[in-house]
Structure 1
Amino acid sequence: MSNLELIIEEKAADIGNFLVGRLLPFREKRAVGPFVFIDHMGPTKLSDYQNLDVPPHPHIGLSTLTYLFEGAIFHRDSLGSAVEIQPGAVNWMTAGKGVVHSERTPEYLRATDKSLHGFQIWVGLPKNLEQMNPEFHHTEASEIPQWEENGIHYKLIAGEAFGKKSPVPVYSKLFFIEIKNREKARLNIGNFLFGEVAMYVLEGTVNIEGNEFGSKQLLIAKNATLCEFEMNENSTVYLFGGEPFPEERYIFWNFVSSNRDTIEQAKLDWHEQNLEAFPKVVGDEEEYVQLPRAILKHR
């Protein structure tokens, strides 16, 4: 019996100057473990007159995880954080009851040709922490656990697996793992995983149960403990997963919650620019992304 539950094709979504490949949510699979949203950004080339400019926008009920392969993004938020994200580092922002942030091309790159490639991920919060105070943590690439075994390179970007723990301060049982190889290799790593698991092939191909899979697909296993696959030469894969929440998570625009009323209140607070619920982004106060009128519920 096949362990592949679902194969999700990456679908394009426009976020401004370039398209991203949306992997989650999907109509047949709304989450994998606590992961509720995964965007694959790029790879894209931006000319000297093109820049990433995502003005201040709000979040509730989740943690955002930004992980870059190429390029740089400057992050600012309503907590006062101001940091440049470089490849291999992890930006982990926990929205809790409400946070606002912006993402832009750093000033020193704005008049030059540049590239951008990476993941934008949302991780839901446990129900008892959905209203926690917002937090921000930046973890440098050098702090992320990485090791080599039998010619295969592993990196534990977030969570716990393989008896190791990433310093990224997550709030639920999860894992986000990078695996790279040079020579063809077979992996049977189910004993090190738990809950649900999805695989994204960034480079190269993998063989699962006699079938070959390449990029632009999210492969979801029925059982993480049966995670076995073959990586062909010079491949890179990412594994996302962990323990799913017992309650459903609702997603509307940038808001995630187990309670629809909480989302409705967040919509109203952002629409009315309630600064107690959603303070201004420090150093980026002049503009903001308006709530799409299509999701504003009239009262």
Structure 2
Amino acid sequence: MILQTITPTTHDLGQFEVRRALPKKERTMVGPFIFVDEFGPAQLDIGTAMDVRPHPHINLATVTWLFAGEYGGAIDHRDSLGTFSTIRPGQVNLMTAGKGIVHSERSPAEERATGPKLYGMQTWLALPDGREEIDPAFEAVADLPVIEDTCAKSIVIMGQLWGKRAATTTYAETIYAEIVLAPTGSMPIEAEADERAVMLVGGEASLDGTPLGLYELTVLAPGHAMTLSSERGGRIMLLGGEAFTTKRHAWWNFVSSDKDRIRQASEDWKAGRFPKVPGDEKEFIPLPEGRPKTVTD
């Protein structure tokens, strides 16, 4: 049973598009997921790049996932902990902001020379009550469970699905998976999570016979087992988990249960009180003037 269908807001960044499904006015969260962006597929011009300058986060964890295939590319991640990690398809990068972190995301040098490819997901997970101000951390996990048969393949990115659990850290109960269906393939969607949603990110697929719209976030009613299927082949993201009982607020790159904490983080960023990113200290994204693109309330 489909509970809700959310059409993302598309941001045209010149050579590629970013589609933001959460947060939206009609829904701010699915489980702990409070921000859901899909980007690409895109091939950038030679000599150009994706350059997301250093910027801060608090009280959340970011999850970056890139798709394999024709548009499978890479992203260099740097953060204020001193982390440097090149994100590639099949590897999940989890950056825990907690009480505060700064990071940048840029196309690697070798991709700039050939034309960077971009196709993947960037999501934020709100941290649960009592854990919003934990120490910042980073992990990259490539050894992820795979469930497959001749016409379907699923990678468990976070949490437990289809009897397999990913090694990726979770702070609240979380499910996150990529499902690739070959023509005539199908995959059951388990019903245990409090909240679940799927997003078709390539090809075509249907849910219990109802076609999915490309890039739409389809929220499923709790407690109903359903089946994904595809006649011609498709790629689908499954996400969700524990429903939060305490409201979360989002403003720009900050998420918190406390609006005053967001105001303090904004003042700290404007005043230069956040730590620098080693190896990427010269640039930064300034605090927005007025209403940012990501905001609730």
Name the TM-score, length of structure 2 as normaliser: 0.91
Which of 155-164 and 258-267 deviates more?
Answer: 155-164
Q: Find the counterpart in structure 1 of residue 283 from structure 2.
A: 287
Letter matched to residue 3 of structure 2? E
Q: Partners of 1:182 and 1:109 in 2: how far apart?
A: 29
Q: Find the counterpart in structure 1 of residue 226 from structure 2.
A: 227
Instruction: Report how far residue 134 of structure 1 moved.
Output: 0.2
Instruction: Report how far residue 224 of structure 1 moved.
Output: 4.8
Instruction: Report how far residue 145 of structure 1 moved.
Output: 0.6
Percent identity reads: 39
The residue correspondences of 1:212-223 to structure 2 (distance < 5 A) are 212-223=211-222
The residue correspondences of 1:65-214 to structure 2 (distance < 5 A) are 65-69=63-67, 70-140=72-142, 143-149=143-149, 151-191=151-191, 193-214=192-213
Q: Partners of 1:110 and 1:233 in 2: how far apart?
A: 33
Count how many residue pairs are aligned between Structure 1 and Structure 2.
288
Instruction: Report how far residue 209 of structure 1 moved.
Output: 4.9
Q: Partners of 2:92 and 2:268 in 1: how far apart?
A: 29
Instruction: Report how far residue 58 of structure 1 moved.
Output: 0.1
Report the structure, 1 or 2, having the larger helix content. 1
Instruction: Report how far residue 159 of structure 1 moved.
Output: 1.4
Contact preservation (8 Å) 2:56, 2:102: yes
Which of 217-226 and 244-253 deviates more?
Answer: 217-226
| 4+ aligned runs moved over 6 Å, structure 1 | none
Q: Partners of 2:26 and 2:174 in 1: how far apart?
A: 21
Instruction: Report how far residue 15 of structure 1 moved.
Output: 5.0
Q: Partners of 2:174 and 2:206 in 1: how far apart?
A: 24
Post-superposition CA distance 1:45-84 (Å, at most 9, x none)? 1111311111100000100000111111100000000111
Q: Partners of 1:17 and 1:287 in 2: how far apart?
A: 22
Contact preservation (8 Å) 2:182, 2:230: no
Query: Any gaps of 5 or more consecutive residues in structure 1?
Result: none
Letter matched to residue 106 of structure 1? P
Relative to structure 1, the CA distance from residue 266 to residue 211 in structure 2 (aligned partners, 3 Å threshold; closer, same or farther) is: same
Q: Find the counterpart in structure 1 of residue 23 from structure 2.
A: 25
Report SS of the residue matched to 1:294: coil
Contact preservation (8 Å) 1:189, 1:227: yes
Report SS of the residue matched to 1:128: coil
* Aligned CA-pair RMSD: 1.8
The residue correspondences of 1:48-59 to structure 2 (distance < 5 A) are 48-59=46-57
Name the TM-score, length of structure 1 as normaliser: 0.91
Q: Partners of 1:155 and 1:225 in 2: how far apart?
A: 22
Post-superposition CA distance 1:232-289 (Å, at most 9, x none)? 3322211101011111110000000011010000000001111xxx200011111111
Q: Partners of 1:184 and 1:295 in 2: how far apart?
A: 45
Instruction: Report how far residue 217 of structure 1 moved.
Output: 1.2
Q: Partners of 1:180 and 1:17 in 2: how far apart?
A: 26
Instruction: Report how far residue 181 of structure 1 moved.
Output: 2.2
Relative to structure 1, the CA distance from residue 153 to residue 77 in structure 2 (aligned partners, 3 Å threshold; closer, same or farther) is: same
Which of 104-113 and 57-66 deviates more?
Answer: 104-113
Q: Partners of 1:200 and 1:224 in 2: how far apart?
A: 19
Contact preservation (8 Å) 1:160, 1:173: no
Letter matched to residue 169 of structure 1? T
Letter matched to residue 279 of structure 1? P
Query: Any gaps of 5 or more consecutive residues in structure 2?
Result: 293-297
Q: Find the counterpart in structure 2 of residue 46 from structure 1.
A: 44
